[in-house]
Amino acid sequence: MVATSDEYAVSPGAAHASRWRKAYSRGVSQPQPSEPRHHRVLIVGAGFSGIAMAARLREAGIDDLVILEKADDVGGTWRDNRYPGCACDVPSRLYSLSFAQKPNWSRDFASAPEIWGYLRECVTRFGLTDDIVTGADVVSAQWRGDRWRVKVRDGRTWTAGALVLGVGGLHVPVWPSIPGLREYQGRLLHTADWPADAHLTGKRVGVIGTGASAVQLVPAIAGEVSELTVFQRTASWIVPRHDQPWSPARQGLFARWPITQRLARWHTYLRLEVRVLGFGRLERLRPYIERQALARLARDVPDPVVRAKLTPDYALGCKRVLLSDDYWPTFTRPNVTLETDPIARVDATGITTVAGTKHDLDALVLATGFDPGGSFDRMSVTGVTGHTLGTEWVAAGRPTHLGITVPGFPELYLLLGPNTALGHSSVVLQIESAIRYAVQAILRADKDGPAMVRPRAQRRFASWVRRRTRRTVWASGCRSWYLDEQGRNVTIWPASTARYRWATRRVKPSDFEPVRLSEANPQTS
């Protein structure tokens, strides 16, 4: 095991963080063994995916594993996203692992810190502490004939029979190419990379973007800043969140009789799962929900000019439908302005719009989202043919089979890979389905030797995704991160979570071909 010494161990809990960070830095300064350390499975990333994968591998009898995490703590997106108001917009009882239910969530939609704490608890609960190496930023992975050779930024290397990328679907922030952004002299922040010392009280703040992050941030800071200007390019569809705290009685009930929490989870699952029909076949439902949303907008925002600006001009569901009870009412505050004139440029002191309005700002927040392909191509992963999961793969529409395996990349498993994201339910369900599939494939390789998915299986999957997407609202013509620059759906699973569970229920031997040991990467053999 890599992390046999306590030096490398993760000690969940904020109180321990600095102690193990110090311990970790002692660990890395020790001399490195000349031979890379070998494991049956190497997992990159200690977020939801990595932690759940390790727990399930253990359960399947595979203990020889390591998780490499680039940051100094576990938690992935829930560690990084710390902007005010950050919370999950999927109910916690479903946005949690099916095999690690937490009876004492504080509310229906848990905050980012609470979810981060939950993930740290999972690390302890599944005894994964010693399997995690933090500060290990993977820069490359190459298939070497019968194993993966994985290198981290500081030069340490590992080898492994199987490589699992649990690097998160939405991880790499998008820094928009707005003229003059680099010249801005005030505080420049991104919601996905929020520093602990970002104090906005009493400041004139601008927020660019009106997506899922912005609708949480804007109401959270509106009361504390002196002036808030929201720069909107596209209005968002927003439906009520109805968030409620969990009473001690409910927490006690769930703790005492876990079956009651299971039933509540099933109820939430079914309630969300039926929504998928609205994205596709049951498009007649959409105008009804749109009318309800617009009626609420009319109640929340009496000013007809502001209301018109907040009214979306595309079909509900084409972009992610947002949940909020307090975003629209924020625009009735005297210190909040909605700017819909396009941004012309940024200079040292603020933003000027195309019509020439200048907004002087002490701080500028970019709520401009993520690059969904960025997580995979920030490291160089090289398969048997010498091709990488880099620019070419991204340009080809990130081809995979079921979002999990890639032709030419033996014993490589992606979690939250292309075409596995959701617009209607919890992605944790998708992660768990992909994990079941990956664990099966790894156990199969133990018996039959390394294998890789056949191109024909990948082509069949791609063609199904294309056909299926054509019939959904995502193809109705709006701009969203679900589609790439060529308008291809490279992100979202265009069906129900039940369908994904069914598609990933078992590894079909005919979809895979064995890897001959001579099939080494030509660049490295």
Residues that bind ligand NAP (CB under 6 A): 87-89, 170, 176, 178, 191, 208-214, 233-234, 320, 343, 367-370, 479, 481
Query: Which of residues 212 and 297 has its CB atom nearest to ligand NAP in the complex?
Result: 212
Query: Which of residues 234 and 353 has its CB atom nearest to ligand NAP in the complex?
Result: 234
Alpha-carbon gap, residue 352 to 343, rounded angstroms: 6
Query: Which of residues 169 and 408 has its CB atom nearest to ligand NAP in the complex?
Result: 169
Q: Please, what is the minimum distance in Å from the beta carbon of residue 479 to ligand NAP?
A: 5
Query: Which of residues 159 and 268 has its CB atom nearest to ligand NAP in the complex?
Result: 268
Query: Which of residues 176 and 455 has its CB atom nearest to ligand NAP in the complex?
Result: 176
Residue with tokens 């390790």: 54
Residue closest to ligand NAP, measured at CB: 211
Query: Which of residues 214 and 306 has its CB atom nearest to ligand NAP in the complex?
Result: 214
Q: Which DSSP string corresponds to 375-405?
A: HHHTSEEE-TTS-BSSHHHHHTT---BTTTB
Query: Which of residues 20 and 482 has its CB atom nearest to ligand NAP in the complex?
Result: 482
Q: Please, what is the minimum distance in Å from the beta carbon of residue 283 to ligand NAP?
A: 21
DSSP state of 167: -
Q: Please, what is the minimum distance in Å from the beta carbon of residue 23 to ligand NAP?
A: 33
Q: Please, what is the minimum distance in Å from the beta carbon of residue 96 to ligand NAP?
A: 13
Strand, coil or helix: what is 66? strand
Query: Which of residues 209 and 407 has its CB atom nearest to ligand NAP in the complex?
Result: 209
Distance set, CA 280 to CA 238, 403, 491 (Å): 19, 21, 16
Alpha-carbon gap, residue 4 to 8, rounded angstroms: 8
Spatial contact of 520 and 143, defined as CB atoms under 8 Å apart:
yes
CB atoms within 10 A of CB 293: 19
Spatial contact of 391 and 377, defined as CB atoms under 8 Å apart:
yes
Q: Please, what is the minimum distance in Å from the beta carbon of residue 214 to ligand NAP?
A: 6
Question: Nearest Cα to 420, choosing from 519, 493, 327, 329?
Answer: 493
**Residue 487 in tokens:** 């308008």
Alpha-carbon gap, residue 347 to 46, rounded angstroms: 39
Q: Please, what is the minimum distance in Å from the beta carbon of residue 340 to ligand NAP?
A: 10
Structural element, H or E, at residue 364: strand 363-366
Strand, coil or helix: what is 78? helix
Question: Nearest Cα to 62, choosing from 161, 153, 155?
Answer: 161
- Rounded to 5°, the CA angle 61-64-66 comes to 125
Q: Please, what is the minimum distance in Å from the beta carbon of residue 161 to ligand NAP?
A: 33
Structural element, H or E, at residue 188: strand 187-190
Q: Please, what is the minimum distance in Å from the beta carbon of residue 131 to ligand NAP?
A: 27
Query: Which of residues 121 and 193 has its CB atom nearest to ligand NAP in the complex?
Result: 193
> Rounded to 5 degrees, what are φ and ψ at 412?
-115, 130
Query: Which of residues 161 and 369 has its CB atom nearest to ligand NAP in the complex?
Result: 369
Residue with tokens 């007649």: 284
Q: Please, what is the minimum distance in Å from the beta carbon of residue 411 to ligand NAP?
A: 29
Alpha-carbon gap, residue 360 to 354, rounded angstroms: 15
> Rounded to 5 degrees, what are φ and ψ at 208?
-100, 125
Strand, coil or helix: what is 65? strand
Q: Please, what is the minimum distance in Å from the beta carbon of residue 364 to ligand NAP?
A: 12
Q: Please, what is the minimum distance in Å from the beta carbon of residue 367 to ligand NAP?
A: 5
Structural element, H or E, at residue 458: helix 455-470
Dihedral, CA atoms, 294, 299, 303, 306, nearest 10 degrees? Answer: -40
Query: Which of residues 123 and 170 has its CB atom nearest to ligand NAP in the complex?
Result: 170
Orientation angle between helical segments 48-59 and 427-448, nearest 10 degrees: 40
Query: Which of residues 233 and 468 has its CB atom nearest to ligand NAP in the complex?
Result: 233
Residue with tokens 């939609």: 109
Q: Please, what is the minimum distance in Å from the beta carbon of residue 238 to ligand NAP?
A: 12
